[in-house]
Structure 1
Amino acid sequence: MGQGYEDHLVTQEADIPEAKGLYTNDIQRLYKVASAIVHLSQQDLDLSTYIGQIASLKEQFLTVMPLTPDVGAQQTQLDKFFMVLTLIGLRPDLEPIRDQILGSSSVPSLDDVFARLLRGRSGTRGRGQRPHCTYCNKLGHTRDRCYQLHGRPPRTAHMAQSSDSPLPQPPSSFASQASIASVAQPGNASACLTHTSSLGPWILDSGASDHLSGNKDLFSSITTTSDLPTVTLANGSQTVAKGIGLALPLPSLPLTSVLYTPECPFNLISISKITRTLNCSITFSDKFVTLQDRSTGKTIGIGRESQGLYHLTSDSSPAVCISTDAPLLIHNRLGHPSLSKFQKMVPRFSTLSSLPCESCQLGKHTRVSFPKRLNNRAKSPFELVHTDVWGPCRTASTLGFQYFVTFIDDYSRCTWLFLMKNRAELFSIFQKFYTEIQTQFNISIRVLRSDNAREYFSAQFTSFMSHHGILHQSSCAHTPQQNGVAERKNRHLVETARTPPP
């Protein structure tokens, strides 16, 4: 038993330093160790192996959660541990959120993890899947948001039953904090919401069946007829609308058939009606609401959340819903627009003089064109020699040649051409060319300029160049312009061979 226990400990301790490289951060390692601790059981293992595993997990746990006398560090470690326990106990449908948290480059705090889980809860539900309450067995909410269990919270919008069934009476404590009103069509289907005592801006209401306003000054035109619908309040009382007309909360958002009811000191926009009349789509987030024209995709109105209600803002210009004040971060999220376009999209940065975005500078680089002529010709023969290999040719010559190599003197532009059957012959041909130059002209080649073909960098070629003191200049990758003399000479030779004289 003791021998098996010691062997197990040695093996695990040796593996711990190597395992550190398998994870991108300490949270992943802590998650792995804590998950193993939570799910550890003896089952069919013998007792020595089981005890060895416990001891090994203890050592691994102390590696990722070392003991420290610092109170602040202890609190941080405690938050990490409970964060990992939270992730371990998640349902399978929340695994994508858990993987995102574990894959974060920086370690999030416990409160950040809770917030991300709550935000991502709605996004993990599949299409057609609605949340289910285990208390009232109804769809559309969960137990922690069940009104039958917790009661309706104050200062929030809620739906009411139709007038065919009795309206529920709110608790006295709730009725004392806010007044409740509703608007109905002639069919008396009603919706209700809470409001504060002061008259605020237009409010988007998903339960209202008609637009409603108690402020006559907001109407562009108003008419009075005998056939006006009845407005039903949430407490069961009814009143007849005093007029119907047109209102313009925004220039791009005309509201038709708005009911005028002086008894109701607030302004409601019916979501169901505005989506039908304006053919628009409405997107809600935790802080903003956006109205977009479905045919053009243009934003026709925006709003902000305040005390549980979505108020339509008075700014009619298109705006970007942002939650940061860093201009560079906003610039990145908007797709790296130019400074002028960025200032039009986010007007509060109109005084910005520059936008030092490194990604724009690197991603929008273009290759600078090469000059047509350089005034740096060699001053003496064979001070600089250009060379390049051409081939293979699709049709071999009668003797089987498919390649040729050229050597051009930069001073005189005198050219030597040698035919080759394969590229491996280059070294032997260069040796013959070098010997010929020394014999005929009694001069040595100083610099050889070529591209990055492998045959110019073989071990034999490099050793020969070094032995004879020849400098080798090679062009940059994908830049044939730097070896332009040889490239242009090869083009001239090929064009001449393809168009022989008659």
Structure 2
Amino acid sequence: MVNAQKGKAKEVTVTKQGEWIVDSGASDHLTCSLDNLVNVKVTPSTFTIKLPTGATTSISHIGDVILPNGLKLLDVLYVPLFTHNLLLIHKLAKDAQCDVLFQPSQCVVINSKIKKVIAKGVLKEGLYYMQCKTDPSEVCMSVAADTSSGEIRTIRTDNTLEFSDKACVEFMNQKGILHKKSCSYIPQQNARVERKHRHLLEVARALRFQSGLPLSFWGECVLTAAHLINLLPNITLNFCTPYEKLHEEVPTYEHLKVFRCLAFGKDPSCHNDKFTARGYLSIFVGYLILQKGFRLLNLV
């Protein structure tokens, strides 16, 4: 996969950024793209790892990865000279409290508590690749089955085929849900969705213009915009916030920060030296979803 002779890396095969190979022999989760990581921390140059070719290379960063299907991978190592994303089975099973079942053509990840399939992998060229793209019909069924969202009687979508598969149709019929579709090329019939989409983009655009961040940080702007919108009073909700309507409690605002403000992240690798700097210079780029913390961009 990698030729590391004379300090140069020659790529032979490259895994796509969003593809993850399910592996049982690796020592840690590995990624070939720094863009996959959140909660990024810089590692000392003494941290090294041995590649499948036998070559040894250093690890420059470590962080977490949140896959589109909702799985969270902790302590993922970023290896610049590596060309694949590896998902370690026993670490995933321990951190996510799940079971992994291997079948002849696929592997499935099952939540140990609710006994529900939360991810799937397909067999290609002798390797299992995790499917990180979320199926819209599965999301629809998951939301409809969630009693905390209230009882759903009608769902309106465009004419996309994802919501017309057999499993989704049978689920809606079983739950008594009426599936309405908009007319082709008439986005006005999805006016509420279009307005929400416009509102989200306007707030995200304002955050990016105010912060001066490059366009590559559009994802952080959108996530932060959604977080702020959920905490703002809404006139259609009688000046309640969406958060209050969902959780039946008034939200707190002490944790809010100015987008792109100066911050100092804690460096856990310096605990052995009392005179080493304890933090690194960074900027604030958002809020964590599954943890009580912030997303920081390391400037060092």
TM-score interval, normalised by the smaller of the two chains: 0.3 to 0.5
Computing the radius of gyration from Cα coordinates, the structure with the larger value is 1
| Structure with higher strand content | 2
**TM-score normalized by structure 1?**
0.26
**TM-score normalized by structure 2?**
0.42
Relative contact order, higher structure (CA 8 A, sep 6+): 2
